[in-house]
Amino acid sequence: MGQVWRGRDTLLGRPVAIKVLRSEYSEDPTFLARFRAEATHAAALSHPNIAAVYDYGEVPADDGGEHLAYLVMELVEGEPLSTLLREEGPLSPEDTLAVLRQTAEALAEAHHVGLVHRDVKPSNILVRPDEQVKITDFGIAWSAGSVPLTQAGQVLGTPQYLSPELAVGGSPSPASDVYSLGLVGYECLTGEPAFAGDNAVAVALKQVNEEPAPLPEDLPPGVRELVDVAVAKDPDERLPNGDAFVAAIDRVQAGRPLDDVVPSTQG
């Protein structure tokens, strides 16, 4: 819903990214609320794996002009993970774990302050040339005290990465982000989304009713188990939050079993 421009902060002499709400949305109260929420949520977070927000502003319409809403952010020199996967294909297990760990750390920071991102997907994960990851777009993030951004019965998020509980209109939780990040990991390893369909409803139904195709057998068992646990249909059977995801990745990288971080309902 926004266009991103490269700009320069003339006061501090630094390059910035300027996200401008598209003109077709700038007079819509719902989209304005989401845009303001993105600024508020991201500004409340400070973490090396979260793109920083520096400023937000609105310029009211004047003399027949358009209402302008803008967000000034950290300029991240790099590419969206979605672009890298499209142009370069699947990542190695090692690189996949590196991306997942950094993203999980960013989500853990959000979870600590009661935020659920709700739209974790490759296009919202930026990868710099030095392989540092930055997560962006908190526009539909949820918190217990936030103003509702939808009417009853509406679903926010991207169907290919939507958790089953959100697909049926349930309440968001940190485990919802874990599911989405697990699907990002699946796509990193295979080069394809776990679920596809002719339309958004078809994909959402698959999230609820179907399991992803098994990961290739030649992948390390620990990596396959990590993704499988993250994308469990029942939130109570997943890793519960970003902190647990980080701990699980650390165990996989160390060659240790996931017994201590996997919920007991997994057996």
Please compute Rg for the chain using Cα positions: 19
Ranges of the chain with pLDDT below 50: 147-154, 266-267
**Considering only CA atoms, which of 107, 93, 99 is closest in space to residue 132?**
99
* C-alpha–C-alpha distance, residues 215 and 209, integer Å: 18
Q: Give dist(CA 127, CA 81) in Å, integer.
A: 6
Active site includes 177? no
Please give the class, per CATH, of domain 2-74. Answer: alpha beta
> What local confidence, expressed as pLDDT, does residue 50 receive?
95
Q: Is 199 buried (19+), middle (13-18) or exposed (0-12) by CB count in 10 A?
A: exposed
Instruction: Give the active site residue among 119, 177, 228, 243.
Output: 119
Question: Phi and psi at residue 168, in whole multiples of 5°?
Answer: -100, 15
- What are the tokens at 136? 């962006």
The region that residue 52 occupies, defined by phi over 0 for left and psi between -120 and 50 for alpha, beta otherwise, is beta
Q: Are 166 and 154 in contact (CB under 8 A)?
A: no
| Other Cβ atoms closer than 10 A to 94 | 10
CA distance 226 to 192: 18
H/E/C letters for each residue in 65-100?
CCCEEEEEEECCCCEEHHHHHHHHCCCCHHHHHHHH
Candidate CATH numbers 1.10.510.10, 3.40.50.150, 3.10.20.580, 2.130.10.10; the one for domain 79-266: 1.10.510.10
Amino acid at 137: D
pLDDT of the residue at 140: 65
Best CA proximity match to 181, nearest among 118, 235, 92, 237: 118
Name the pTM for this structure.
Answer: 0.88
In 3D space, the residue among 82, 258, 93 whose CA is nearest the CA of residue 184 turns out to be 82
Residue-range domain boundaries for the chain: 2-74, 79-266
